[in-house]
Amino acid sequence: MSSDLTYCLILDTHRGVYCGLVDWSTYSRAPTEWVLVTEFRHVFQFTTGTGVYQLATTGPNSGSRIGAVVPAVIIRDVSKVLPCSDAAAAKLRGAKWAT
């Protein structure tokens, strides 16, 4: 089984926003209501101006609140998985909790 880890934004049906690595080759072939995310981070608050699609494209701006990295989490009740651009992934990975 090949692995194609892609940095993604994951949204659940409870309005939660998260980011991390998803095995896209597996998930995109058989989407389910849950997804295993490694390098998991909870996006508590973000500012981009236009919402989650902009967040997946350009990443967070200053003032965003993104939690610490957790090695792995299973997210249930998944509504969307959005692959991030390289620029957005770099910003999300390097984001610090705004004070």
pLDDT in tens, 51-96: 899 999 999 988 889 999 999 999 999 999 999 999 999 999 998 8
pLDDT tier for residue 47 given thresholds of 50, 70 and 90:
confident
Within the chain, strands assigned E span 5-12, 17-23, 34-45, 65-66, 70-76, 78-83
56 within a domain of the structure (yes/no): yes
Q: How many domains does the chain have?
A: 1
pTM for this entry: 0.88
99 within a domain of the structure (yes/no): no
Number of H helices, E strands in the chain: 3, 6
83 within a domain of the structure (yes/no): yes
The CATH number of whichever domain residue 9 belongs to comes to 2.30.30.100
Domain residue limits at 28:
5-94
Residue 6 DSSP symbol: E
Distance separating alpha carbons of residues 14 and 88, to the nearest angstrom: 23
